[in-house]
Amino acid sequence: MESPQPFREMRRLQREMERLFGELTPAWRWPLTGEYPAVNLTRHADGILLEALCPGVDREGLEVAAIGDSVTIRGERKPEADVANARYHRRERPVGSFARTIRVNERLDPDRTHATYANGCLRLTLARSQESTPKKIAIQS
């Protein structure tokens, strides 16, 4: 007797759902919410580096806000102007407005935070607030 493989069945159901809803409308299938854009977050002694992948987004269409211990990235990925929706045979690159808030669990100083955008990658150098910056304590004898 063959053992049940629940993950195979779950994957089959997922493919069926994707096929079903994909036929309805591509815009519904790929909303730009939740985990978009994809980010990498690295901590350094002098701050925090957040890199967000936003290919196809104009720099002027991006908005970044640092509040407390969180950073919010907002923007819009516009469809290609020279291709009508009806001409797509398959459309996997999402379009539309997006917003993502990332908590870094350290208070940030928005006045010392810097952002650059090149080749679809948004790089934020997040500065810790003065009260969050680790301070070395001298040990008295």
Q: List pLDDT tens digits, range 17-49.
A: 766 665 555 444 444 444 789 999 999 988 999
Q: Are 124 and 114 in contact (CB under 8 A)?
A: yes
Q: Give, for 70, the enclosing helix (H) or strand (E).
A: strand 70-77
Q: Are 109 and 129 in contact (CB under 8 A)?
A: yes
The answer for residues whose C-beta is within 8 angstroms of residue 43's C-beta and 6 or more apart is: 49
| Short-list 120, 112, 133, CA closest to 37 | 120
The pLDDT confidence band at residue 72, using thresholds 50, 70 and 90, is very high
Q: What global pTM score does this model have?
A: 0.67
Pick the CATH number of 32-126 from 2.130.10.10, 2.60.40.790, 1.10.150.120, 1.10.630.10: 2.60.40.790
Give 106: exposed, middle or buried? Use CB within 10 Å, 0-12, 13-18, 19+. Answer: middle
